[in-house]
Copies of this chain bind each other. A is one copy, B any other.
């Protein structure tokens, strides 16, 4: 159900069509949720049927049609309900920790190489999220600007800070993983 709520959350900022949403969810700088267009288009139709969003057809040129979806009152309600409730945490399933759990079975140098790749990946993510966080704090992202239009100016700072804080969380987790992997490199080196 998370994809639907992610879509509702984005559509709350402004109406969009499937293509725009796809660019958002397939974006290279990884956001908080990702999905391919093959999942997004059916989800949108399903959500329209459920009355959570409303599609309006537009024509570009003479034939190119697009469905622009806006969130409905019911959709807003559903989103707020979901946001306010506790949801069971997903069961532990971390492929990288699983891999690391059996590093004693392979050559330490190979294990170290895998850890180094992980560190590089985490640092890449940190850089992207840092940039996004800065942009949010400066209220300089497309979506946030749209979103703030329908909110009282007195709340703008608060909203930007709350959004930015989520990316601070992603950064903190990635930082913890990178630090942990570096400590792992020391452990592997010790015993050579």
Contacts and interface: CB of A to CB of B under 8 A. Distances in A.
A90 B84 contact: no
Contact of A9 (B101, B113, B117, B172): B101
A19 interface: no
A14 interface: no
A60 interface: no
Residue from the set A80, A86, A168, A170 with the largest chain B CB neighbour count within 10 Å: A86
A169 B122 CA distance: 14
A2 B95 contact: yes
A13 to B, nearest CB: 10
B85 A166 contact: no
A56 interface: no
Contacts of A177: 169, 172-173
Given A6-B98, A93-B2, A172 B165 contact: no
- Copy tally for this chain in the complex stands at 2
Interface string A111-123: 1011001000100
B98 A80 contact: no
Contact of A165 (B96, B98, B158, B184): B184
Nearest to A151: B104
Contact of A100 (B33, B169, B187): B169
Interface of A: 2, 5-6, 9, 12, 30-34, 79-80, 82-87, 89-107, 110-111, 113-114, 117, 121, 155, 158-159, 161-163, 165-166, 168-170, 172-173, 175-177, 179-181, 183-184, 187-188, 190-191
Given A32-B94, A103-B162, A161-B187, 17 more contacts: A31-B92, A32-B93, A32-B101, A33-B98, A34-B93, A80-B105, A86-B117, A92-B170, A97-B170, A101-B163, A104-B159, A104-B163, A162-B188, A165-B183, A165-B187, A172-B176, A172-B179
